Amino acid sequence: MSDLEHTPGPWKISKCECGHPACDSYFINVTSSDGRLSLGDAQLIAAAPDMLDALKGILDCQEHFYTEQGGIRLPEQLSPWGGVLQVIFKVAREAVTKVGGKEV
């Protein structure tokens, strides 16, 4: 795991304002002092696809635990972790939704 620090969020996305009608570019506005990405910021961005896959994997797991009524059903050995798992699922769902994926 990297010990490099990244710029704390929230990071903002802005649309390119070059004025070209065919332009569909976006920029990430990281609030660092000079506007450049640090190595830690670049590594975080590069890891984003893998992290998204990991979050989607977590959300795939939730299907095994939730009942049709919205309750959570856990094997006995996991039952002490029910509250923690619900928080993990919530955070993963919010992060995936933030990426623009469909609500899970």
**Is position 16 an interface residue for Zn ion (rule: CB under 5 A)?**
yes
Minimum distance from CB of 17 to Zn ion (Å)? 7
> Cα(87)–Cα(94) distance, rounded to whole angstroms?
11
Distance CA 60, CA 34 (A): 40
Site for Zn ion in 21-60 (CB under 5 A): 23, 25
Listed ranges 13-21, 35-43, 47-55, 73-81: which one lies at the site for Zn ion (CB under 5 A) = 13-21
Residue environment code for 93-102, b if the CB has 16+ CB neighbours within 10 A, otherwise e: bebbeeeeee
Which positions touch Zn ion (CB under 5 A)?
16, 18, 23, 25
